[in-house]
Amino acid sequence: MVIRSVGIKGEYMMKNKCVVAISFMILAIISLTIHASNSKVGANGFLEEPFFFLVPISYVLFLSGIGVLLFGFITSKLKKSNR
């Protein structure tokens, strides 16, 4: 009975990690979309980007999503090899 509940808990944790990773990546896509939609060329010919700060934030979010996926994959493989 205890072994089964641990297995269910492990599956729940893996699904939870995937949800977190996917949400990080979706937020990265949303922030890049917001950045791209508000860029315009001014009267003097300069590019005006009011939300340029979203570019590094989106990179951090995207890399965090990949990191969470890799962490979950590696820990699941290590747990399976220890059984």
pLDDT of residue 13: 64
Q: Which residue has the tokens 């990690």?
A: 17
Would you state the pLDDT for residue 10? Answer: 58
Specify the pTM: 0.74
Residuewise pLDDT in 10s, the chain (83 residues): 444 444 555 566 667 788 899 999 999 999 999 998 888 889 999 988 899 999 999 999 999 999 999 998 898 888 888 87
- Cβ-contact 39, 49 below 8 angstroms: yes
Q: Are 61 and 28 in contact (CB under 8 A)?
A: yes
